[in-house]
Amino acid sequence: MASLRKWKWCEKIVKETPDAAALVQCSNSPKCGDRIHQACFLDLLSKNDETEGVCAAACGKRRFNAVLKALKAADNPVSTSKKRVAWHNDGPTPSISSVSCLIDWMTTSSKHSRYRGGDAQSGETKSTIAGEVVRFISSCGVTTYRTAKDIQSKISSLEQSFKTAADWLGATGQGVQDEKCLRDAILSRCPYYYDLYDIMNDRGSTTPLMLNTDAIDVSEESSTDDDSDDGSTSNEGDVSSIEGVTTEPTGINSDAVVPRENASAIETQARIAESTARKHHFEAQAESCELQRKVALLRERHKLRQEGVPPHEIEALLPIRIPDLE
């Protein structure tokens, strides 16, 4: 049953005409069955700044705010969810997508090196370069909008997946004898491993093991064999016999990983260089501290002399050893 909802200033509002005293139903019906005087509702509107477009009756301040909120939502519809589109199938054709365009950009010239900070003198930030990638992807016909932050996250994801595949190759991947199984295992960890190999294999943070996929240079092998022993010369015919054979990898040997000894040797050399640099750094720090100690000692002795302390007491308090003055 509908009831009268009194506005808090209802008793102070004059209702001289029947229209002013008429009761109007709250627009939030049937949830709200309350009614309010027409004059009280007009007074409610007069006490609020945002009343434009409000034509539905409200029995109180709370109901009025609900009506106002509904009107704003109708005027400014906002999508509650953002549709996520995969990077590999958002292009105009199966061969063109956001990720394929991104990899094309990364593998062109030295752009990935520039993104990683290789050209430090240019003053470009990663965000600026990522904006360049956004425009490149758009120019390729991909309509899905990607932000500069999306580009940075995707590049980081590609670098991490490549590192995962490279680490697996260096640890357990060399024990896989079947070529197809090896490739499948690599691609399962990094689907774009072979596309990214040329730009990633020199990065210190990934340190991927090199694959023997390059064609054999017979002339180079022949010139090297001239200085080799008899055992090496006996293999020269085998090397020469493969001239004319296609350079496309056909067997497991074409994808064989260079032994880990090479990577271990490089790592050892890096550790030795790092240790040497740290040693020099600590020695320089020690020399600096010793010099500061000598200067402080002389200053304290001079200060005591100025204060009138006898020389024999100064010598007892702050003795100078011969090495201190060397």
Full DSSP string of 32-70: --EEEEHHHHHHHHHT-S--TT--S--SSHHHHHHHHHH
Judgement on whether residues 112 and 151 belong to the same structural domain of the protein: yes
Burial of 239 (0-12, 13-18, 19+ CB in 10 A): middle
Beta strand 23-25 pairing with 3-4: unpaired
162 lies in some domain = yes
Whether the predicted model's global pTM rises above the 0.85 cut:
no
Q: Give the position of tokens 């750094």.
A: 281
Residues 271 and 319 in one domain: yes
Q: Which domain holds residue 23?
A: 3-75
User: What is the domain count for the chain?
Assistant: 3
**Which residue among 181, 213, 245 closes a domain?**
213
- 64 and 168 both lie in a single domain: no
Q: What are phi and psi of 211, to 5 degrees?
A: -100, 145
Same domain, 53 and 111: no
Is 82 domain-assigned?
A: no
**To the nearest whole number, what is the mean pLDDT of the chain?**
72
| Residue 83 within a domain | no
Q: What is the pLDDT of residue 254?
A: 43
- The predicted-structure confidence for 112-122, as pLDDT tens digits, reads as follows 888 888 655 56
**pLDDT tens track of the chain, all 326 residues?**
445 555 555 656 666 677 767 766 666 655 666 766 667 767 766 666 555 555 566 666 677 677 667 766 665 554 444 567 889 888 888 889 999 999 999 998 888 888 888 655 567 788 889 999 999 999 999 988 899 999 999 999 999 999 999 888 888 766 777 788 888 888 999 999 999 988 887 665 555 444 444 444 444 444 444 444 444 444 444 444 444 444 444 444 444 455 556 767 777 888 888 888 888 888 888 888 877 788 788 888 888 888 888 888 888 888 877 555 55
Is 106 in the same domain as 183?
A: yes
106 and 196 share a domain? yes
- pLDDT on residue 106: 93
Is there a domain that residue 65 lies in?
yes
